[in-house]
Amino acid sequence: MHILLTRPLEDCKDLIIKFKSLGHKVSHLPVIKIQKIDYEEPNFNDFKGIIFTSANSVKNLNISNVDKQIDCYCVGSATENIAKKNGFQNIFCAEGNVNNLKEIILQNFDQKKGRLLYASGEMISSSLDRDLISEGYSVKRIINYTVLSVEKISDEFIKDLKSSIPDMVFIYSENSARKYLNLMKKYDLLDFWMNTNLMCIGEKASSILNEIKWKKIFLFNSGEEEFLLYKI
């Protein structure tokens, strides 16, 4: 099977190794790149819980002064794994979507306990902080990275793509979906995907790519990638 991954390399290198070990061909076309943003560092002692809605929000936070015993809420398994690698011990993990994460916070974090710190990218597709505030929580959001577009596809990659169309394409966010669509339009590649399955996190992201005709569209949560191999 031929699989196309579209995340930055640092976010999918383990998955590339895994898929290749299972005997699959893996192509890599990052449609976004991550750039750290300087932010005013808060006093971490002022917070009793911390929220991460992406692995990059963990990677780009200066955690040297953070108590690793703090309640840590992660949107999915990929974010949870990075949090564990950075020493966080009291982790609550959602199933890969923000709505589920919100419910986990409501169920497990007593708002009387104190404030929540929410680390995220500049562009987010949810209103998690506002939703929690409306529930009576005290939440401070800090923005510690932004997402930039990848503007070019190499001639060599396009040649390889046309000679071996992927069986599966993985898209992980609404932003990535838009960037992918823009690249396909720019390089006149919209009509190459009729025999390709789109694997997408979230209905909103998949709807952005409805302009492309796919064989089938599957929705998934982060961490379920290997399982999807057996669905097609």
Q: Which of 103, 79, 92 is nearest to 172 (CA)?
A: 79
Dihedral over Cα of 223, 147, 123, 211: its sign: negative
The model's pLDDT over 2-13, given as tens digits with 9 standing for 90+, comes to 999 999 998 889
Residue 148: band (very low, low, confident or very high) from pLDDT cuts 50, 70, 90: very high
Q: Are strands 139-149 and 32-36 parallel, antiparallel or unpaired?
A: antiparallel
Burial (Cβ within 10 Å: 0-12, 13-18, ≥19) of residue 142: middle
If one compares 128 and 78, the residue with the highest pLDDT of the two is: 128
- Write down all domains in the chain, each with its CATH number in brackets: 2-31+151-228 (3.40.50.10090), 35-147 (3.40.50.10090)
Q: Does 223 score more than 80 pLDDT?
A: no
Helix, strand, coil proportions of the chain in percent (round to 5)? 35, 25, 40
Q: Does 166 score more than 90 pLDDT?
A: yes
> What's the pLDDT at 211?
93
> What's the pLDDT at 126?
76
26-51: average pLDDT: 95
> What's the pLDDT at 121?
92
Q: Are 65 and 133 a contacting pair, CB within 8 Å?
A: no
pTM (two decimals)? 0.80
Which two tokens mark 77? 């398994």
Query: What are the start-end ranges of the H helices in the chain?
Result: 9-21, 55-59, 77-85, 98-108, 128-134, 155-163, 174-186, 203-208, 225-228
